[in-house]
């Protein structure tokens, strides 16, 4: 069967804008994924229009990121960031804005819809029916997986989300999984048809995230040249488990008090999700553990500055309870900094255990202290992992991701799955 060329994609990201700074609120790896993949698709001649909810009155209706990639701000609810739990009530308003945009043009403006996260998938479901085009969906995170791996003080995902995800899985023409593990989860936990699941690895910007002199990076960030630096990057919430790093650092200092003069524990990110209820949690925990003198809490940083944080670190710590992939691990490795990561989800793909970093089973701070202590005690081993980290990251580029996505889009267009008629918004 001859495949049509993909000319224009309607990307739906309802709950978080690709223009937002990753690392706080709902902005994270998904934002990076959408922007970087769209840029590389544009380089392939595929135009991408990204629909997101307008969160400020002064945002323009359309903002161009680069030629061929634009962001369309859709009015749906108040001009402010809403909790994800409140967003289902705005689905119909958001859908209406998406449909109105398409109606302004001649029929056939979009060749395919790519929705990200389950809320966007619900919108994509109805748009697919109206436009007669295929729906490609990427989960990024899944409620059933998160509920199986909850942190001790985290809340389970609600039943409404589980049902919503099941509906999207049933109607999507293609489901894009970040890793083979995620593909299996879609099939085993959600009953996805294996023939409609495609594995497309995310990538890393190898131009921004690349090795550089550690001393220069530390000088720019105000980190002592002889520091032993442990780095956490990401949203501060129970799912990401930054508390595991702080508790492990406290154990390391208890075992070897002489480390205190050199140890730096840097946490780059802002509160998100359940972490918003306790915005000072990390600072309070550091004080409770008696390590506030070695902990630096830093706001989310733009990519060029974030690259310096990676280069400055001895090891990047990713102790998440669940990760669909783990872009932080890739970014760190691309900068030549090995990773200590939880052996969960996509981190098993992003990190080569014993080659580019270490995968840690469980979340016991004592176990993490032991692993991190090896990075401190064995600099030659750390340098060996650093070389492996650069090689590991080099295999993941956004251009390859975009090329695979274009193939998935074409395949979905060639085998359009006619879904059950969606229930209209009430």
Strands 174-177 and 135-138, bridge-based pairing: parallel
Q: Where are the domains of the chain?
A: 8-203+398-417, 214-395
CATH architecture of 214-395: 3-Layer(aba) Sandwich (3.40)
> What's the pLDDT score for residue 415?
84
Q: Taking CA 11 as the corner, what is the angle to CA 9 and CA 14, rounded to the nearest 5 degrees?
A: 160
Please report, in range form, the residues annotated as the binding site: 15, 21-22, 26-31, 84, 117, 141, 161, 235, 240, 310-311, 313, 323, 331, 337
Please report, in range form, the residues annotated as the binding site for Mg(2+): 310-311, 313, 337
What kind of fold does domain 8-203+398-417 have according to CATH? Rossmann fold (3.40.50)
Please report, in range form, the residues annotated as the binding site for UDP-N-acetyl-alpha-D-glucosamine: 21-22, 29, 235, 240, 323, 331
User: pLDDT 10s digit of each residue in the chain, 426 long?
Assistant: 455 789 999 999 998 888 876 655 566 678 889 999 999 999 999 999 999 999 888 899 999 999 999 999 999 888 777 677 778 888 999 999 999 999 999 999 999 999 999 999 999 999 999 999 999 999 998 999 989 887 777 788 899 999 999 999 999 999 999 999 999 999 999 999 999 999 999 999 999 999 999 999 999 999 999 999 999 999 888 889 999 999 999 999 999 999 999 999 999 998 765 545 566 889 999 999 999 999 999 998 989 999 999 999 999 999 999 888 889 999 999 999 999 999 998 999 999 999 999 999 999 999 999 999 999 999 999 999 999 999 999 999 999 999 999 999 999 999 875 555 555 564
Q: Check if 8-203+398-417 and 214-395 are the same fold.
A: yes
Q: What is the 3-state secondary structure (H, E, C) of the chain?
A: CCCCCCCEEEEECCCCCCCCCCCCCCCCHHHHHHHHHHHHHHHCCCEEEEEEECCCCCCCCEEEEECCEEEEEECCCCCCCCCHHHHHHHHHHHHHHHHHHHHCCCCCCCCEEEEECHHHHHHHHHHHHHHCCCEEEECCCCHHHHHHCCCCCCCCCCHHHHHHHHHHHHHCCEEEECCHHHHHHHHHHHCCCHHHEEECCCCECCCCCCCCCHHHHHHHHCCCCCCEEEEEECCECHHHCHHHHHHHHHHHHHHCHHHHHCEEEEEECCECHHHHHCCCHHHHHHHHHCCCCCEEEECCCCHHHHHHHHHHCCEEEECCCCCCCCHHHHHHHHCCCCEEEECCCCHHHHCCECCCEEEECCCCHHHHHHHHHHHHHCHHHHHHHHHHHHHHHHCCEHHHHHHHHHHHHHHHHHCCCCCCCCCCCC
> What's the pLDDT score for residue 1?
45
Please report, in range form, the residues annotated as the binding site for 1D-myo-inositol 3-phosphate: 15, 26-31, 84, 117, 141, 161
Both tokens assigned to 261: 């003069």
């Amino acid at each position: 069967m001859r495949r049509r060329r993909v000319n224009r994609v309607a990307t739906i990201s309802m709950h978080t804008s690709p223009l937002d700074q990753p690392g706080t609120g709902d902005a994270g790896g998904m934002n990076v994924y959408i922007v970087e993949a769209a840029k590389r698709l544009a380089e392939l001649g595929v135009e991408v229009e990204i629909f997101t909810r307008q969160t400020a009155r002064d945002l323009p209706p359309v903002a161009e990121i680069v030629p061929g990639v634009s962001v369309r701000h859709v009015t749906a609810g108040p001009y402010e960031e809403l909790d994800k739990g409140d967003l289902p009530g705005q689905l119909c308003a958001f859908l209406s804005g998406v449909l109105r945009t398409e109606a302004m043009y001649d029929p056939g403006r979009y060749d395919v819809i790519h929705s990200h996260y389950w809320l966007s998938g619900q919108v994509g479901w109805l748009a697919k029916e109206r436009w007669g085009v295929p729906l490609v969906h990427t989960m990024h995170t899944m409620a059933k997986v998160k509920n199986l791996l909850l942190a001790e003080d985290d809340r389970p995902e609600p039943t409404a989300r589980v049902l919503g995800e099941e509906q999207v899985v049933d109607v999507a023409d293609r489901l894009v999984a970040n890793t083979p593990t995620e593909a299996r989860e879609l099939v085993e936990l959600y009953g996805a048809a294996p023939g409609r699941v495609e594995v497309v690895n995310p990538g890393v910007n190898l131009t921004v995230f690349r090795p550089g002199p550690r001393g220069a990076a530390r000088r720019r960030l105000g980190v002592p040249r002889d520091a032993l630096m442990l780095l956490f990057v990401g949203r501060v919430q129970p799912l990401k488990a930054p508390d595991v790093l702080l508790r492990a650092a406290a154990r390391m200092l208890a075992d070897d008090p002489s480390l205190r003069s050199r140890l730096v524990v840097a946490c780059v990110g802002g509160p998100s999700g359940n972490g918003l209820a306790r915005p000072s949690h990390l600072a309070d925990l550091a004080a409770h553990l008696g390590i506030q003198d070695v902990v630096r809490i830093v706001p989310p940083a733009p990519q060029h500055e974030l690259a310096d944080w990676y280069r400055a670190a001895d090891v990047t710590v990713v102790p998440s309870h669940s990760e669909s992939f783990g872009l932080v691990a890739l970014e760190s490795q691309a900068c030549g900094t090995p990773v200590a990561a939880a052996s969960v989800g996509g981190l098993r793909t992003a990190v080569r255990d014993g080659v580019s970093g270490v995968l840690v089973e469980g979340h016991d701070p004592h176990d993490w202290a032991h692993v991190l202590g090896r990075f401190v005690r064995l600099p030659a081993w750390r340098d060996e992992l650093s070389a492996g980290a650069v090689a590991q990251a080099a295999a993941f580029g956004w251009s390859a991701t975009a090329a695979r996505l274009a193939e998935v889009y074409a395949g979905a267009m060639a085998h359009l799955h006619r879904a059950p008629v969606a229930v209209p918004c009430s």
